[in-house]
Amino acid sequence: MSASDDRLRETPPGATDCHCHIFGPAARFPYAEPRSYTPEDETLEDYLALLDRLGLDRGVIVQPSAYDRDNACTLDALRRAPDQLRGVAVVGAEATADTLRAMHRDGIRGLRANEYRRDGAAAYHGGVRLAEIEPFFPVMAELGWHLQLWIDARHLPDLEPRLAKVPVPIVVDHMGRLHHSHGTHDPGFQALVRGVGTGRYMAKLSGTYRLGAVKPDYLDAKPFHDALVAANPDALVWGTDWPHPRPDGGRPDAARLLRVFLDWTTDPVLRRKILTDTPARLYDFPAV
Give the active site residues.
Answer: 241
- Cα–Cα distance for residue pair 255/276, rounded to 1 Å: 18
H or E element: which one contains 20? strand 16-20
What residues pair up with 205 in beta bridges, in sequence order? 238
Pairing of strands 85-89, 117-118: unpaired
Task: Give the Cβ contact number of residue 247 at 10 Å.
Answer: 13
Q: Report the candidate in 173, 38, 176 with the shortest Cα–Cα distance to residue 112.
A: 173
Q: Report the candidate in 140, 17, 10 with the shortest Cα–Cα distance to residue 85.
A: 17
- Cα–Cα distance for residue pair 143/109, rounded to 1 Å: 8
Give the C-alpha distances (Å, rounded to integers) separating 177 from 72, 150, 156, 188, 211.
Answer: 27, 8, 11, 11, 6
